[in-house]
Amino acid sequence: MTVRVGQGFDVHPFSDDPSRVLVLGGVQFEGQRGLAGHSDSDVAAHACTDALLGAAGLGDIGTMFPDTDPALAGADSIELLREAASQVRAAGWEPGNIDCTLVLDRPKLAPVRDQMQARLTDAVGAPVTVKGKRTEGVGSLGRGEGVVGLAVAVVTRVEEKP
């Protein structure tokens, strides 16, 4: 068996557009400022996508889903993650798991963590865990300027025996 690991990173600033809804891990946080970006700006799904693609040697989210593609404006990042997982499988790799960390002071993730994990797991077809980490007020994230997503993915390939 061959095992590969990939890491993913994404960051988006908060938007000044009052119509943008915050989406993290495929879950909408009503009443919270949304993140700026070309798609729905779900940093959890983006970091997971990047980690998965990197583990399989398939580049990164910007290569597969460029932010210059008008067809992807407002795209549902869970669906992009689902497509990336499909491409990983088409390349002969099987997602093993993804571990994702979101760095932000608010909103609290604990009340919807299970829902986030379920949405991400369903898209990948393998377990995805989500953790939230506070900045304790340090730096641009501590000032509430944005959200960071980090992820690590494992993929496997079972080698055929001669």
Residue entry with tokens 């393998």: 126
In this predicted model, what pLDDT tens digit does every residue of 1-23 receive, in sequence order? Answer: 899 999 999 999 999 999 999 99
Average pLDDT, the chain: 95
Residues facing residue 156 across a β-bridge: 3, 94
pLDDT at 161 over 90: no
Q: What is the pTM of this model?
A: 0.95
Pairing type for strands 27-33 and 2-13 reads unpaired
In this predicted model, what pLDDT tens digit does every residue of 79-88 receive, in sequence order? Answer: 999 999 999 9
Q: Could you tell me the domains of the chain?
A: 2-157 (3.30.1330.50)
Q: In what order do the strands lie in the sheet with 94-103?
A: 2-13, 146-157, 94-103, 128-133
Q: How far apart are the first and last CA of the chain?
A: 14
Encoded amino acid at 74, one letter: G
